[in-house]
Amino acid sequence: MDDRARWNERYRAGHGSGEPNARLRQYRHLLRPWLALDLAGGAGRNAALLAGWTVILADISDEALAHAPGLCVLVKSPALPFRAESFDTILCTYFLDPQVDFAALLKPRGTLFFETYTTADAKYRPDFPSAYRLDPKQHSTLFRGLATILWEEHDDGTRVYGTFIGRKV
């Protein structure tokens, strides 16, 4: 089964419903408003926190986007169909593709909110593919061109994830 079919099946089964990301809610004030890309945004639960902004949802799942409000783009990373320096903010939660150049997509002084599972999460989910876990040592490569505003690694007792907020330099 390819990625699109797998994610479509997950969204048909109810994945992606629920509350927006708690740390995005907490740190929204650090983000640069107006035009935002919600990469791997699913059905738009995080975009709901950006009321008054223009948010483009980009996802691999046409099933998720069919239920999403607003502007939606069906994509397959890393070949994203956006011009350089298009966005004031990029949201990217629980999706990791080291080939995505976040800084290239951001306008000068634009911000990135990024959160995903880290390598320390293996203690809770040893079956989860390591290629989709952030190794904190990858920061200089994954977030090249971005100054760190915030980096936190969280262990909630069931999963370990890292939250990065950066600004294009």
pLDDT of 87 above 70:
yes
The domain limits of the chain are 3-168
Its CATH architecture, for the domain 3-168, is 3-Layer(aba) Sandwich (3.40)
What is the per-residue pLDDT across 58-82, written as a single tens digit (0 to 9) for each? Answer: 998 988 898 888 888 998 766 789 9
Rounded CA gap, 95 and 113, in Å?
12
Instruction: Tell me what pLDDT residue 78 has.
Output: 65
Bridging pattern class, strands 146-155 and 106-117: unpaired
Average pLDDT over residues 105-114: 98
Model pTM score: 0.93
pLDDT band at 8 (very low <50, low <70, confident <90, very high): confident
